[in-house]
Amino acid sequence: MDGDQTIPDPDLTPKGREQCERLSTTFPYFDRIDLVCASPIRRAIQTASISMRPYLESGDNKILALPLAQEAPAEPANTPSGIKQLQEEYGNIVNFERCVEYTDYDSKKGIFDPDGTSLEARAMVLRKFLRDREEDEIVIVSHGQFLHYVSRDVDDQGNQINGDWENTECRSYMFWPVDHVDALLQETEESFRRRNASGPGKQMGSADGA
């Protein structure tokens, strides 16, 4: 996200909405999706609702809000709104049951703290949650900084490596080794080719919101 980080939980920009509209017409795998998840930050919910519209309109489908997928830093722009506000705005298209379970999801404390150790722990809990779901093909709309922890593309000093995420960029992953204790992810060969990157051969993470 670009812009003023002091604005509390802002909307997508007009450019971001245009990018999402474009993705809704170019994403090639709508017929394979079993579940769409999103960070409970408003721009991620809006990204999911626009870019995944064909999936949402194909049946009685809702977005599952995942507090664990929220952005890493603690600035107001990267902190989710309270549950009451989000339910009033998006309750018709989003399932907020996980936010109800994580009552401190908007606190940036505990597992949501922005320090490196907490981010690594939160990323692992998220990977395990996704791995243990019954669905096979899951789309998750999250945020570039946090996705580096999900994909484990962070060095010992906490610096992000292996390429920044672009707005509405999609990458594909599989759990490998399948039963690894940390639920590791590996980017697929198809995903590497799509973004003209070298690989595979490194354990990685998910999909990004504008």
The size of the chain, in residues, is: 210
Q: pTM value?
A: 0.91
The Cα 71–Cα 66 span in angstroms is: 11
pLDDT in single tens digits along all 210 residues of the chain: 567 899 999 999 999 999 999 999 999 999 999 999 999 999 999 999 999 999 999 989 999 999 999 999 999 999 999 999 999 999 999 999 999 999 999 999 999 999 999 999 999 999 999 999 999 999 999 999 999 999 998 888 778 887 788 899 999 999 999 999 999 999 999 998 888 876 554 333 344 544
The Cα 63–Cα 28 span in angstroms is: 19
Long-range (24+ apart) CB contacts under 8 A made by 13-18 are 13/210, 16/43, 16/46, 16/47, 16/167, 16/168, 16/210, 17/46, 17/50
207: enclosing H helix or E strand: strand 207-208
Cα 65 → chain centroid:
10
